[in-house]
């Protein structure tokens, strides 16, 4: 059940990013930098690239899922191979 939900979320992100080239033409340099980081984080999550995620996320960051489950960056990165 988790896999279809993750794929659905990624599809929603992809649809939201459609036409990003047009939007990026009107972005400031700071906005482009933030968007590039966002894209790199998404790419790292899809590739399950733990090292890349650890570069972008502070070690004190806590993720809170819609279910209420809380994860630290370390626990999220540890379960990336299985997407737990």
For range 36-61, the mean pLDDT = 87
Q: For residue 75, which of 46, 44, 54 has the smallest C-alpha distance?
A: 54
pLDDT at residue 67 in the model: 92
3-state DSSP assignment of residue 60: coil
What was the pLDDT predicted at 29?
A: 93
pTM of model > 0.75: no
**In the predicted structure, residue 36 carries a pLDDT above the cut 90:** yes
What is the arithmetic mean of pLDDT over 45-64? 85
Q: Could you tell me if 53 and 41 are in contact, meaning their C-beta atoms sit under 8 angstroms apart?
A: yes
């Amino acid at each position: 059940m988790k896999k279809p939900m993750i794929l659905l979320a990624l599809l929603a992100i992809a649809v939201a990013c459609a036409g990003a080239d047009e939007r990026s033409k009107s972005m400031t340099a700071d906005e482009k930098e933030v968007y590039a980081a966002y894209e790199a984080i998404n790419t790292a999550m899809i590739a399950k690239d733990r090292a890349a995620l650890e570069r972008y996320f502070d070690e004190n960051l806590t993720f809170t899922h819609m279910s209420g489950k809380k994860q630290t960056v370390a626990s999220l990165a540890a379960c990336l191979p299985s997407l737990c």
